[in-house]
Amino acid sequence: MSNTIGMKTVEVAKTPNAWQRIPWRSLAIVFPFLAVFIALGIGSPAFLSFYNVSNVLDRQSGIMIVAVASTLVLIAGGIDLSVGAIYMLSAVVCGTLILRVGGVEGVVAGVVVGVLAGLAVGVVNGVVSTYLKINPLIATLAMSFIILGLTKLISQFGKEGIGQLRVDVEQFTWIAKTKPLGVSLPTWIAFVIVVILAVVLWRSTFGRYVYAAGGNAEAARLAGIRVNLVRISTFALSGFAAGLAGVIDLARVPSVPESDAIATSLTFTVLAGIVVGGTSILGGEGAVWRTVLGILFIAMLYNGFTLLRIDPLFQGIALGVIILLAVGFDAWSRLRRR
């Protein structure tokens, strides 16, 4: 072939040695995770106890479900700021139905409609941010105000007098209390969702299209991929996951406090976990396992603070610093790769 010389120079210049071949960038979250894990294991004997670990996992299951689904939104080039609001909405819808309908039928109706409400909002998010061409950041921010307002409206139907919506129905709280093989049902659900989404992203055509849509939407479109449909699907997944998480956490608590701050804080923690895990906010890059490590890292940090009796005041500060480090590292490695 006439171009062998040109080709050879390219190959020589790009063949890295074994040290360079290790994808340092993609392993970034692993080292701090292990470091904190080992440090806490040594520093606090309670940390590695079965009780503590299963307790942390149980409490993180809702957030984990939302975060792994939101990871797909981010990789596809979007962002979903409404997950917290959807989470509240589905909890309120679910609780209200359980109280109003009553009995097992009420529980089934509550769970199904609660989750479907999340899915529906997700689809709306997707359509608004693709076909209506509204920037997803703004679209989902606006949606989250709308949903929170709607949530308050609905919650009035479920309350008996003034106060919180309480769902002390045994057939419902059963969801949080069952422990197949000693691990709570919410943890199992989160585990299954994580595995499904990880495999979908890694091995399915849909997963591949998600990466392509976020990496280069125009190239993906010209390759015959229906980018809008892919993005809407990721928003739908994210809405579904937020709905599911809302229902699961309601079963655990089991009351819905009327506070927008909880919705906001959930959205932020989810985004923090994704970013700390190393999924790029710019889209096209990332993975489910990263988000799992990111969310667990934050949970571990908070747990460590509690176990070591450090003023919880410092938790937020520490988390903020870690997010800056994570994003800074991402930006730095992008710069270096050029």
Partner 1 sequence: MPTETAHADAPQLTIELRGVGKSFGGTPVLQDIDLTITPGSVHGLVGENGAGKSTLSKIVAGLYTADEGTLVVDGDEVSFGSPREALDRGIAAIAQELALVPALTVAENVFLGREPRSFGFINRRRLRRAFVELAARAGFDLDPDRIVGTMRIADQQKVEILRALARGASVIIMDEPTAALSGHDTELLHGVVRQLAASGRTVVLVSHYLHEVLELCDDVTILRDGRLIRTAPAADETEATLIEGMLGRSLGSVFPDKVPVPADAEEVLVVRDLVAPGVNGVSFSVRAGEIVGLAGLVGAGRSEIAHAIFGAVPREGGTVTAGGRDLASPTIGAALRGGVFLIPESRKEQGLVLQRPIRENVTLSNLAELAPGGWIRSGAERREARTMLDAVTVTGDERRAVSALSGGNQQKVLFARALQRARRVLIADEPTRGVDVGSRRSIYDLIVAQARAGIGVVVISSEVEEVLGLAHRILVVRGGRIVAEFEGAELTEENILTAAFADPITSEDA
Cβ-proximal residues to 141 (8 Å cutoff; 6+ apart), any chain: 81, 82
* Residue that is written with structure tokens 């667990």 in the block: 296
Task: Work out which of 108, 215, 253, 262 binds partner 1, going by CB under 8 A.
Answer: 215
Q: Enumerate residues 221-240 that contact partner 1 by CB under 8 A.
A: 221-226
Contact status, residue 246 vs residue 87, Cβ threshold 8 Å: yes
Task: Work out which of 49, 171, 178, 204 binds partner 1, going by CB under 8 A.
Answer: 204
Q: Which stretch binds partner 1 (CB under 8 A): 67-75, 198-206, 258-266, 303-311?
A: 198-206
Give the nearest distance from C-beta 285 to partner 1 in angstroms. 6
* Residue that is written with structure tokens 């930006």 in the block: 331
Cβ-proximal residues to 264 (8 Å cutoff; 6+ apart), any chain: 84
Q: Which stretch binds partner 1 (CB under 8 A): 9-17, 58-66, 114-122, 132-140?
A: 9-17
Give the nearest distance from C-beta 3 to partner 1 in angstroms. 5
Q: Mind giving me the DSSP string for 78-123? A: ---TTHHHHHHHHHHHHHHHHHHH-HHHHHHHHHHHHHHHHHHHHH
Instruction: Rank residues 204 and 259 by Cβ distance to partner 1 and give the closer one.
Output: 204
Cα–Cα separations (whole angstroms), residue 49 to 41, 277, 325: 9, 25, 30
Q: Which amino acid is at 1?
A: M
Give the nearest distance from C-beta 225 to partner 1 in angstroms. 7
Give the nearest distance from C-beta 101 to partner 1 in angstroms. 37
Give the nearest distance from C-beta 287 to partner 1 in angstroms. 13
Which residues of this chain interact with partner 1, rule CB under 8 A?
1-3, 5-7, 9-17, 20, 203-206, 208-209, 211-212, 215-216, 218-226, 284-285
